[in-house]
Amino acid sequence: MKLNILIFIFSVFFCSVISAQNVPFDKALFKERKEEYKAAKEALDEGHKKFEKGRYDEAIELFLKANKFNPNNADLNFKIGRSYIASYQKDRKGAVPYYEKAYQLDPNVDKKIHLYLGEAYHLNGLWDKAIESFQIEKSGIGKGAENEVVYLDKEIYECKNGKELQKNPIRVFVDNLGEGVNTAAPEYCPVITTDESLVYFTSRRSDTYGETRDAADGEFNEDIYVSTKQNGKWTKSKNVGTPVNSDNHDATVGLSPDGKTMYIYKGSNGGDLYECDYQAGVWTKPEALNKNINTEHRETSGSLSFDGKTLYFVSNRLDLTLGGMDIFTSKKDEKGKWGKPVNLGSTINTIYDEESVFAHPDGKTLYFSSQGHKTMGGFDVFKSVYENGKWGEPQNLGYPVNTPADEISFVVNANGKRAYYSTTQEGGFGHRDIYVITMLGPEKPMILNTEDLLVSNVTQPVSDLVIEPKIPVSTNELTLFKGRILDSITKKPLESNILMVDNAVNQEIGTFTSDKITGKFLVTLPSGKNYNITVKAEGYLFQSVNFDIPPGGDYQVIEKDILLNKVSVGMVIVLNNIFFDNDKFSLRKESETELENLHKLLTENPTLKIEISGHTDNRGSAEHNQKLSENRAHAVVNYLVTKGIQVSRLEFKGYGLTKPVASNLTEVGRQMNRRTEFKVLSK
């Protein structure tokens, strides 16, 4: 009964506004406008040809010319609406007035007109009208069309979700990245370095490599572009050129947190993922990922974990998928090869498509787009957090981040306060532009201690930050450590290996390299671990830094240049990851990685002789500190001797409180004074 009333109201509404009848494109009706009719009919016929070939953008332009001459043709209005919905370049929201006009002129213009109207209303956020249209369409479905009923029920469900989400919008700013990045051509699929210094993205501009076009839609092929942020603004973007771009489609899908490894999509073999590395200022030739990742099916998205050991990727491989495109993981084996894929399971994946996976460098947050879960239409962006050994229920990021249209290729910066994606908005440079989303909320002021906490002689974990009283704010639990590796004398940039170890379990987390040309590095450190960061370069003494980041630690950025010293007599290096209990001289387990670094240095330089020295702060008596420092230095020597280093190459000495490097009036200063060092005695 209720549905019959709905249909009656719907019909009365449209009948009441009909002001014209359906006017065919019959030249007999336009005898006094022969030339205009001829031009309009030619545009109409050509538009039909483009429409049948799927060239909807071109069809729209031709149909609009014909519509200007005869705006009261039901079929033409209907096809304009269909073209807007299917168009790659045009705003799909433009379909509504043409569908409505087509229905006004002829309620039987198409047997699925209520479905099409519902879809157009849905895209415009006209939730109630969309639900009414879908219900009317559903009422006319006969037996044996269960799939259509399922589809309509899902559309109605999405409209109800959208209605609720729109009532409670999240507080965000959405800003265009500007003319440095966006053009009249479509720009999409942004990927960023963790510190937001670089953005790579995909575009279909006329300067695409080889200036080749796609035979299917006539548009230029996809190429990858890059822009850098300088003084808070994005510079004019450039085509990254060969070997990354080719004369085929080349699209961005993922970037490692440090910007050194990029994953791209190529349309070959049904759609595969490729990997290329940034070395010595240039990108290497993209190499297809192995058969554990790429199949004869489609692989469309990839994202690397913060430690570089796990790849999250999207595939529709029929043997493992739960339905459509699913998200998988693969781990690197001991040889650095990607292993067998594992489906993330039904908590993340649905019977519908999942796309555009992004693993945040905090090590526990996954962002992805899905047509399932509690979406408000098309693909929505969801967030899931890995806790207690499992992925949490995905949460819709809300309106206006999500809309009734498709939201994909969503990436988030280090602190979780900004995200980038591609969308269509009024005032943009083209149909699809790249935008930055700023999550609003009270800021958390943070003041670093004025003393330099990252000089080579910090012996305790870098944890004594001075922080103002806490203000609740949603930020990711992450420390961003960035800077340059330089020669201590010449200040020349060095290509160095950066080893990240979990001190608590003496387990390597990841290995990275600094840039050969600039010496720059970027390491992300999720909270909840005690980290040993060791920097090594051939011909230089290693340097180490310690970070003890408790669970729930606040987001912070620490920028520091690390100076490496060549092996030379008299050179002194602080062993920042040697640990003793308070007032004890037994080496703690967390010291093992640092001790092994020292052991390896002595093994690789068999004539090197060193002195191990211990130092304390000024608390306690001078005599006690002297003895404590000697015993600690001796403990290090004993470890090295047990590892096969000749005792004749080792000396130890305690200096107690006699050689402070900082004031003992502050805890930070006392931490710096409590240290273990080694000095090169001879080469």
Report DSSP letters for 48-88, one per residue. HHHHHTT-HHHHHHHHHHHHHH-TT-HHHHHHHHHHHHH-S
Residues 6 or more apart whose Cβ sits within 8 Å of residue 621:
none
Statement to judge: residues 215 and 352 lie in one domain: yes
Residues 6 or more apart whose Cβ sits within 8 Å of residue 302:
253, 254, 263, 273, 289, 293, 311, 312, 313, 314, 357
- Integer angstrom CA distances of residue 547 from 453, 460, 466, 485, 669: 10, 8, 15, 18, 17
Residue 655 CA to residue 633 CA, distance in Å, equals 10
pLDDT at 443: 43
**What are 381's two structure tokens?**
């962006």
Tell me, yes or no, whether 187 lies in a domain: no
Pairing type for strands 556-559 and 478-487 reads parallel
Statement to judge: residues 373 and 495 lie in one domain: no
pLDDT at 349: 96
In DSSP terms, 266 is beta-bridged to: 272
Single out the residue of 558, 559, 563 nearest to residue 573, CA to CA: 563
Which range (273-287, 343-357, 421-435, 483-497) has the least confidence?
421-435
Share of the chain above pLDDT 90, in %: 69
Q: What is the pLDDT of residues 278-319, one digit of tens each?
A: 988 899 999 999 999 999 999 999 999 998 999 999 999 877
Tell me, yes or no, whether 186 lies in a domain: no
pLDDT at 4: 52
Residue 615 CA to residue 491 CA, distance in Å, equals 29
Tell me, yes or no, whether 406 lies in a domain: yes
pLDDT at 425: 77
Pairing type for strands 198-203 and 172-176 reads unpaired
Statement to judge: residues 93 and 51 lie in one domain: yes
Single out the residue of 26, 64, 24, 27 nearest to residue 44, CA to CA: 64
Residue 390 CA to residue 346 CA, distance in Å, equals 12
pLDDT, average across residues 237-247: 92
Helices 96-105 and 74-86: crossing angle in degrees, nearest 10, is: 160
Q: CATH number, domain at 463?
A: 3.30.1330.60
> Does residue 385 surpass a pLDDT of 60?
yes
Average pLDDT over the chain, rounded to an integer: 88
Residue 170 CA to residue 572 CA, distance in Å, equals 54
Collapsed DSSP state (helix, strand, coil) of residue 563: strand
Tell me, yes or no, whether 616 lies in a domain: yes
> Does residue 445 surpass a pLDDT of 80?
no
pLDDT, average across residues 88-109: 88
How many independent structural domains does the chain possess? 3
Q: Is 68 exposed, middle or buried (0-12, 13-18, 19+ CB in 10 A)?
A: exposed
Residues 6 or more apart whose Cβ sits within 8 Å of residue 230:
none
Residues 6 or more apart whose Cβ sits within 8 Å of residue 17:
104
**Sign of the alpha-carbon dihedral angle for 498, 499, 502, 504:** negative
The helix (H) or strand (E) run that includes residue 506 is none
Q: What is the pLDDT of residues 536-556, one digit of tens each?
A: 999 899 999 998 888 877 788
> Does residue 7 surpass a pLDDT of 70?
no
End-to-end CA distance of the chain: 96
> Does residue 328 surpass a pLDDT of 90?
yes
Q: CATH number, domain at 133?
A: 1.25.40.10
Tell me, yes or no, whether 508 lies in a domain: yes
Statement to judge: residues 395 and 517 lie in one domain: no
Tell me, yes or no, whether 430 lies in a domain: no
Residue 419 CA to residue 413 CA, distance in Å, equals 6
> Does residue 621 surpass a pLDDT of 90?
yes
pLDDT at 318: 76
Q: What's this model's pTM, rounded to 2 decimal places?
A: 0.83
Last residue within a domain, chosen from 386, 412, 438: 412
Statement to judge: residues 637 and 573 lie in one domain: yes
Statement to judge: residues 596 and 457 lie in one domain: yes
pLDDT at 264: 95
Residue 36 CA to residue 488 CA, distance in Å, equals 79
Statement to judge: residues 388 and 243 lie in one domain: yes
> Does residue 455 surpass a pLDDT of 90?
no
pLDDT at 267: 82
Q: Is 128 exposed, middle or buried (0-12, 13-18, 19+ CB in 10 A)?
A: exposed
pLDDT at 146: 83
| Domain extent at residue 78 | 2-167
Residues 6 or more apart whose Cβ sits within 8 Å of residue 381:
367, 368, 369, 396, 397, 401, 402, 407, 408, 410, 421
Q: CATH number, domain at 304?
A: 2.120.10.30
| Amino acid code (one letter) for 336 | G
pLDDT confidence bin for 447, thresholds 50/70/90: very low
pLDDT at 441: 55
SS3 content of the chain, % helix, strand, coil (to 5): 25, 30, 45
Statement to judge: residues 470 and 614 lie in one domain: yes
Q: What is the pLDDT of residues 622-645, one digit of tens each?
A: 999 999 999 999 999 999 999 999
**Cβ contact 408:424 at 8 Å:** no
**Cβ contact 286:274 at 8 Å:** yes
Statement to judge: residues 617 and 662 lie in one domain: yes
Statement to judge: residues 332 and 468 lie in one domain: no
Residues 6 or more apart whose Cβ sits within 8 Å of residue 502:
508, 509, 529, 530, 531, 532
In DSSP terms, 233 is beta-bridged to: 230
Statement to judge: residues 77 and 147 lie in one domain: yes
Which range (100-109, 168-177, 462-471) has the least confidence?
462-471
Collapsed DSSP state (helix, strand, coil) of residue 237: coil
Statement to judge: residues 496 and 625 lie in one domain: yes
Share of the chain above pLDDT 70, in %: 91
Length of the chain: 683
Single out the residue of 214, 186, 188, 212 nearest to residue 54, CA to CA: 214
**Cβ contact 421:410 at 8 Å:** yes
Q: Which residue has the tokens 């002021």?
A: 445
pLDDT at 405: 86
Residue 571 CA to residue 346 CA, distance in Å, equals 57
Residue 101 CA to residue 81 CA, distance in Å, equals 10
**DSSP for 339-365?**
---EE--TTT--SS-EEEEEE-TTSSE
Tell me, yes or no, whether 230 lies in a domain: no
Higher pLDDT, 469 or 234: 234
Residue 121 CA to residue 123 CA, distance in Å, equals 5
Tell me, yes or no, whether 537 lies in a domain: yes
pLDDT confidence bin for 20, thresholds 50/70/90: low
DSSP one-letter code for 302: E
